[in-house]
Amino acid sequence: MVPYQTGINSSESVSRLLMNNSLVPLLKERFRTYGYMETCTGTFQDYDLYSSVVGTVHQRDMIKTIDPSGEVNVLRPDVTIPIAQQMAATETIPRRQFYVQDVFRVSGDKNRHKALTQAGVECFGENTHENDAEIIAMAAHILQDLQFNQFKIVISHASFFRELLNQLPLTPEQSEQLQELIQSKNMAEISPFLKNLPIGKELATAVEAIPMLYGSPEQVFAKAQTISMNSTMQQAIANLKNISSILKAYGVDDAVVFDLGMINYMNYYSGVIFQGYVTESSKPVLMGGRYNDLVEQFGKRMPAIGFGCFADRLLEALEKDGKPPVMESPVQLIIYYDQDSVNQALATAGSLRDDGFRVVTVNNNRGTYPETAQLGSAVMTTDHYLLNHQGKQTTFRTADDLKTLLKMEMREN
C-alpha cells in the first residue's frame, strides 16, 4: 500500500506547523478585516455532488471511499462546492465567508494521495464591479502582507473567449485542442489550426488575437474592443474596465495585469477570473473568479465570487524567498530556582504566564537549560532574586517587579 502523504516534501510535519501557526492566522486575520466570517465543510462529501456539478475537479483526481451502507463518498476535493450548496440550502448564514481547510487529491505523478491546505473566501448575493474589485484587491493585499518582492494578479474574463468559442464549428476534441493552443499562447500553431476551419476572416482574426491580449489595461481594452463581436463581449470589456478603475482606488493597479488569453479550466466561472503569481513559485499561488451560475445548480439563483490561496505553495515560496514565517513564539524567560525557593519560583512563573509571558522553570540542581530565552533569565534563590538581561543584572522582590522589568525590556527591544 502506498503510504498516505500529506503534502510534498519530507519535512512534512514542520511545514504543517509553520502553516498552522504562522501563515494561517495571518490569512484569517486579513479575511476578517474585510468583514468575512469563518465557515467549514465536512471532510466526507457526497460523490454525486462532485460528479454532477459541471467543471469541477476531475473524477479521477478525487479520493473515493465507500461507507458501510455502500454509498460512495469523496474526501473533500474542493471547498467552494459544499459552501455553495450550504448557501443554497439555508437563509441565515453570512454572505461573506472564509475558510481554511485541507483538500484531498490524487496527485498526478506516482498516483499518491495528497492533502493540500486551501485558504479562501466566497462572497454571495452581490454582482457588482465593486464586489469584483474588492475580492481582487483582497487577494493583492494578502500577497502584500506576505512581503513578496514581486507579485502579479493576472485578470481575465470567462465569457469573453467563451463567446468566440461558441461561434466556432468545433468538435469537442478540436475545442479542447484550440483551448490548449490558446492557453500556451502558441501563435505558430493557432493560425494553421484556424485556416482549416470553415469560418470567416473576422472570426479567425478575433480568435488569433486572444493570446496576445496581454499587458496594461489601456492596451488590452483597446485591442479587445476591435475584436469584440457582440454585446456579451462588450459587457465583459466594460466590466473589466470598471474593475480596473476601482483597483486604482484600492492602490493595487501596479499589481495587476490583464490577459484575456488566460482561459481557466474550471468552467463554472461566469465573469471575471484571476490568478496570482509570485516570482518564487512556478505555479499560481491563488486563483478565483465570479461564478454566478453555480449556486443555481443547487436550486437557488444567487451570484457569487471567490478565490482560494494554495497555502502550501505560498509557504514554499516564502521559504525560497528567505522569509520563512516564524515557526513558533520563542521562550521569553527562564527561571532558575533552588530547592528552598520552589514555591516562590513556581508561583512567580504562574503569575507571569497568566499575563501571557512564555516561561520555562528549571531547578538549579538539574543543570542549565540548553537554550537561551528572548528576554533573559531570572535566578530565584534564598539569597537573592536576580534578573539577567542584556548583560545587566537587576534585583527584584516580587512577581510584579519582575513583570515591570520584563515589560521595560520588551519596549527597549
Partner 1 sequence: MDYLTLALAKGRTAEDSINLLNKAGIHFDSLTEDSRKLVFHDDSNMIQLIFVKAVDVPTYVENGAADLGIVGKDNIMEEQPDIYELLDFQFGKCKFAVAGFTGTELDTNKTLTVASKYPNAAKKHFHRKGIPIQTIKLNGSVELAPIIGLADVIVDIVETGNTLRENGLSVLEEMEAISTRLIVNKASFTTKSDSVHTFIHTLKNSLE
Chain residues in the site for partner 1 (CB under 8 A): 150-152, 154, 173, 183-189, 257, 259, 277-279, 281-284
Nearer to partner 1, 283 or 407 (CB): 283
Nearer to partner 1, 1 or 188 (CB): 188
Residues 6+ apart with CB under 8 A from 193: 177, 178, 181
Dihedrals phi, psi of 126, to nearest 5 degrees: -120, 145
User: Which residue in 362, 368, 392, 367 sits closest to 380, CA to CA?
Assistant: 362
Nearer to partner 1, 149 or 343 (CB): 149
Nearer to partner 1, 97 or 264 (CB): 264
User: Which residue in 252, 310, 229, 259 sits closest to 23, CA to CA?
Assistant: 310
d(C-alpha 161, C-alpha 163), whole Å: 5
Q: Which residue has the cell 481575465?
A: 156
Q: How far apart are CB 296 and partner 1 at their closest, in Å?
A: 31
Q: How far apart are CB 265 and partner 1 at their closest, in Å?
A: 10
What does the DSSP assignment read for 151-178? Answer: EEEEEEEHHHHHHHHHHS---HHHHHHH
Nearer to partner 1, 95 or 323 (CB): 323
Nearer to partner 1, 80 or 281 (CB): 281
- Other C-beta atoms closer than 10 Å to the C-beta of 260 total 26
Dihedrals phi, psi of 367, to nearest 5 degrees: 90, -165
User: Which residue in 23, 46, 276, 21 sits closest to 146, CA to CA?
Assistant: 23
Pull the grid cell for residue 14.
514542520
Q: How far apart are CB 370 and partner 1 at their closest, in Å?
A: 39
Let me know if 146 is exposed, middle or buried by CB neighbors in 10 A (0-12, 13-18, 19+).
buried
Dihedrals phi, psi of 262, to nearest 5 degrees: -85, 100
Q: How far apart are CB 185 and partner 1 at their closest, in Å?
A: 5
Q: How far apart are CB 276 and partner 1 at their closest, in Å?
A: 9
Q: How far apart are CB 279 and partner 1 at their closest, in Å?
A: 5
Q: How far apart are CB 147 and partner 1 at their closest, in Å?
A: 15
Per the CB < 8 A criterion, the answer to whether 243 and 136 are in contact is yes
Q: How far apart are CB 266 and partner 1 at their closest, in Å?
A: 14
Q: What is the CA radius of gyration of the chain?
A: 28
Nearer to partner 1, 29 or 180 (CB): 180
Nearer to partner 1, 20 or 279 (CB): 279
Q: How far apart are CB 150 and partner 1 at their closest, in Å?
A: 5
- Other C-beta atoms closer than 10 Å to the C-beta of 47 total 18
Nearer to partner 1, 252 or 278 (CB): 278
